[in-house]
């Protein structure tokens, strides 16, 4: 199996060298664009609206300070000084030149990073909970399993030409923070009634033009059977997934058309065959990965002046109220650094900000950083006595916005400002909504709120999972935005339902404003979130707020 | 977008693509390419446009993905986009002062310094 740890990166250099030669052959005319396109896509290189785009995998969102500094170097040396965190825990560079990309891949290889399988009909970057290994509610750390899957799936010869792209998410928390129901395969780490660790296996979830939540294909899979079972699922899909129609090629359609029971039978039969081929090497590797991801040497110290600082500094208190998550280790917290400051493009990080985070992770965070699918960065392990120092440094860099999980913590794809597939822009809509509710001073009063925006039906902004989802479309040559209500990517996975006719760009903020006013009026208490009120009351009062003329 | 229209005096077109080596947007002019959309050639005849597009496709070692984009003749006689997607390609993203808008500002500064 492929091993991409920094100390074993000859393979990555080899791949970068291969790509360098492919680029040379494209430039000297030996390769046509049709021949070159699949080769560049295998290396994460897209051609977008204004430029090439390089998507670099951040395996399950876990990244070291040195790797983060290399991401900063790429941004500065070969891009315009910044990168963009994606909803799949990756980073995208919006402005590389094709002729520079081989050098970028070399620099990535130096720290064990790459762009392999960040595009194409292959198994993509495995995603997980950004709080893995830290969350208080964790059954088990999902990262060893995610890494096992990554090593197994990278360059897996059988799965390089699947009917369509394939996304796997692993969740280790009692509460799912990896949106496993929206993935081709979702794995929840669970214990059976004998207390043995295993997985609940979901298949057939996905967003895009046909949003579907996954279904449980196996209630309990023993821990040791992970790879043969996953291999069986993908082998079954590889044979029965449709190749005649790109829009019906994802496993969600295969499951919907053929039925879960038929798929399960095929998977189980294939599983019995494949299992014979696994003789234990995968379990040896898993054991090694578990020690690689052993908890860091946590400090057992008092919290220092943390509470006094909170009491004395309202801005710090507000930030600790919104941007900290409960840690399994006493005295620690996980810090969410949002990239959603006023006027900021959701998920955009400058080279300086990346370097600061790398420094903070080294000084205060046990050398650990995570990219979350909400396009934020998490310092998973910070001792409470260090929180004020971390906060002050973040604040000086414009990174201490106290809005994690609030209405201005908006997830948005690049939209038509960058993406060639987009039908409308996402970024200005996100910026306008955030600015509006900040100006009204309502952020804290509204409380936990999740807005997600996609600039086309492919749903990279996961709009179906937003409490409010916004989908940008082209209606007769004008940008138009459909609103969906009631989506949820966390507690009770749900696909948002379209509320009605779309709005022109300038009417989106007023429409959301009416919706929020209706919610504030209707909620039973400040603790009742919008999604809770929506579930209690149904769509009618919110639809009436969106479309007052129809009411 | 090239779908659903035929170049004509009423619905002129430009031919546009991305530069192979650098990736930026380019427009066809006199059988070659310019990075300045204001310099693009307007095609008002279907047959001539189609021939020019074939020529553009043949220049695969210079550009990627050439296509006919609907345009109109502006007050100064120069081509203007009819669709917002083409307008964004000419200008750059709306969240930063990047892309063509920055390049043109730079070239205007340089021109004024001459």
One digit per residue, pLDDT tens: chain B, 114 residues? 445 789 999 999 999 999 999 999 999 999 999 999 999 999 999 999 999 999 999 999 999 999 999 999 999 999 999 999 999 999 999 999 999 999 888 776 665 554
Q: Which conformational region is residue B47 in: left (phi greater than 0), alpha (psi within -120 to 50 degrees), or beta?
A: alpha
Residues of chain A scoring pLDDT < 50 = none
A314/A84 Cα distance (integer angstroms):
31
Distance CA A505, CA A493 (A): 28
SS (H, E, C) chain B: CCCCCCCCCCCCEEEEEEECCCCCEEEEECCEEECCHHHCCCECCHHHHHHHHHHHHHCCCCEEEEEEEEEEECCCCCEEECCHHHHHHHHCCCCCCCCHHHHHHHHHHHHHHC
The topology under which CATH files domain A134-292 is Sulfite Reductase Hemoprotein; domain 1 (3.30.413)
Residues within 8 A of B (CB atoms), A 25-84 only? 26-29, 32-33, 47-52, 80
CB contact under 8 A, A478 and B84: yes
ipTM rounded to 2 decimals: 0.93
The fold for domain A411-550 equals Sulfite Reductase Hemoprotein; domain 1 (3.30.413)
A30 near A70, Cβ under 8 Å? no
Q: The domain A5-110 is classified under which CATH number: 3.30.1490, 1.20.144, 3.40.50, 3.30.70?
A: 3.30.70
Domain boundaries, chain A: 5-110, 134-292, 306-396, 411-550
Residue of A nearest to B81 (CA): A477
Domain pair A134-292 / A411-550, same fold: yes
Name the pTM for this structure.
0.96
> A453-488 burial, b if ≥16 CB within 10 A, otherwise e?
bbbbbebbbbbbbbbbbbbbbbeeeebbbbbbbbbb
CA A174 to chain centre: 19
**Residue B3: what pLDDT?**
54
| Closest of A101, A82, A103 to residue A93, by C-alpha | A82
Q: Is A225 on the interface with B (CB under 8 A)?
A: no
**CB neighbour burial string for A262-286, b if at least 16 within 10 angstroms, e if fewer:** ebbebbeebbeebeeeeeeebeebb
Looking at residue B107, its pLDDT comes to: 73
pLDDT at B1: 42
Helix (H) or strand (E) holding A215: strand A215-222
For domain A306-396, give its CATH number from 3.20.20.120, 3.65.10.10, 3.90.480.20, 1.10.287.130. 3.90.480.20
Residue A494 is given by DSSP the state B
Size of interface A-B (CB pairs under 8 A): 76
- Locate tokens 């309990």: which residue? A220
Q: Which residues of A touch B86 (CB under 8 A)?
A: none
State pLDDT tens for residues A64-111: 999 999 999 999 999 999 999 999 999 999 999 999 999 999 999 999
CA atoms within 13 Å, Cβ hemisphere of A263 = 27
Cβ separation A427–B94 shorter than 8 A: yes
Tokens matching residue B59:
């220049």
Residues of B within 8 A of A80 (CB-CB) are 96, 98
Tell me if chain A has a CB within 8 Å of the CB of B98.
yes
Question: In angstroms, rounded to a whole number, what is the distance separating the alpha carbons of residues A511 and A380?
Answer: 37
What is the reported pLDDT for B2?
45
CB contacts of B94 in chain A (<8 Å) are: 417, 425, 427-428
Which of B24, B60, B94 is facing A51, going by the closest CB pair? B24
């Amino acid at each position: 199996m492929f091993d991409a740890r920094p100390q074993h990166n000859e393979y990555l250099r080899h791949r970068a060298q291969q790509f360098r030669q492919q680029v040379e052959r494209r430039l000297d005319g030996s390769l046509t664009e049709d021949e070159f396109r699949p080769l560049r896509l295998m290396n994460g290189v897209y051609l977008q609206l204004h430029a090439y785009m390089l998507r670099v995998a951040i395996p399950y969102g876990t990244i070291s300070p040195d790797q983060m500094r290399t991401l900063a170097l790429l941004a500065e040396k070969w891009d315009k000084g910044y990168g963009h965190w994606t909803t799949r825990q990756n980073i995208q560079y919006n402005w590389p030149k094709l002729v520079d990309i081989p050098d970028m891949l070399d620099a990535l290889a130096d720290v064990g990073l790459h762009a392999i399988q960040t595009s194409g009909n292959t198994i993509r970057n495995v995603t997980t909970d950004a709080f893995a290994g830290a969350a208080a509610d964790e059954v088990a750390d999902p990262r060893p399993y995610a890494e096992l899957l990554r090593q197994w799936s990278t360059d897996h010869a059988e799965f390089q030409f699947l009917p369509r792209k394939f996304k796997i998410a692993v969740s280790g928390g009692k509460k799912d923070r990896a949106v496993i129901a929206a993935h081709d395969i979702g794995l929840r780490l669970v214990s059976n009634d004998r207390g043995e660790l295993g997985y609940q296996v979901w298949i057939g979830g996905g967003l895009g033009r046909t949003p579907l939540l996954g279904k449980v294909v196996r209630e309990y899979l023993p821990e040791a059977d992970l790879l043969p079972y996953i291999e069986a699922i993908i082998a079954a899909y590889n044979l029965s997934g449709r190749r005649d129609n790109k829009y019906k090629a994802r496993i969600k359609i295969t499951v919907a058309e053929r039925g879960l029971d038929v798929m399960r039978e095929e998977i189980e039969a294939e599983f019995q065959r494949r299992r014979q081929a696994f003789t234990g090497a995968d379990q040896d590797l898993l054991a090694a990965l578990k020690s690689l991801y052993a908890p860091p040497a946590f400090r057992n110290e008092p919290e220092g002046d943390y509470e006094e600082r909170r009491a004395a500094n309202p801005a710090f208190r507000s930030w600790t109220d919104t941007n900290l998550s409960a840690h399994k280790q006493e005295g620690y917290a996980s810090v969410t650094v949002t990239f959603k400051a006023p006027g900021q493009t959701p998920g955009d990080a400058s080279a300086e900000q990346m370097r600061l985070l790398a420094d903070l992770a080294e000084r205060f965070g046990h050398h650990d950083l995570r990219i979350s699918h909400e396009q934020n960065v998490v310092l998973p392990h910070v001792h409470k006595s260090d929180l004020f120092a971390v906060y002050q440094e973040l604040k000086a860099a414009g990174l201490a916005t106290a809005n994690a999980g609030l209405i201005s913590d908006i997830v948005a794809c690049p939209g038509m400002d960058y993406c060639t597939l987009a039908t409308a822009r996402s970024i200005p809509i996100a910026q306008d909504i955030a600015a509006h509710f900040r100006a009204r001073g309502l952020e804290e009063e509204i409380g936990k709120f999740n807005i997600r925006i996609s600039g086309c039906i492919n749903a990279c902004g996961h709009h179906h999972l937003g409490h409010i989802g916004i989908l940008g479309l082209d209606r007769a040559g004008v940008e138009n935005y459909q609103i969906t209500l009631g989506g949820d990517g966390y507690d009770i996975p749900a696909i948002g339902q379209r509320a009605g006719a779309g709005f022109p760009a300038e009417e989106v903020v007023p429409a959301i404003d009416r919706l929020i006013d209706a919610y504030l009026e209707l909620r039973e208490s400040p603790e009742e979130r919008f999604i809770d009120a929506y579930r209690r009351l149904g769509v009618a009062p919110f639809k009436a707020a969106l479309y007052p003329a129809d009411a | 977008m090239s779908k659903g229209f035929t170049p004509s005096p009423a619905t002129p077109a430009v031919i546009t693509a991305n530069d192979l080596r650098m990736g930026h947007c380019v427009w066809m002019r006199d059988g070659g390419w310019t990075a300045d959309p204001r310099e693009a050639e307007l095609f008002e005849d279907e047959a001539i446009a189609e021939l020019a597009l074939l020529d553009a496709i043949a220049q695969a070692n210079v550009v990627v993905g050439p296509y006919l984009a609907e345009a109109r003749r502006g007050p100064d006689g120069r081509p203007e986009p009819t669709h917002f997607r083409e307008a964004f390609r000419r200008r750059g993203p709306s969240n930063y002062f990047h892309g063509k808008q920055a390049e043109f500002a730079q070239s205007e500064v340089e021109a004024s310094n001459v």
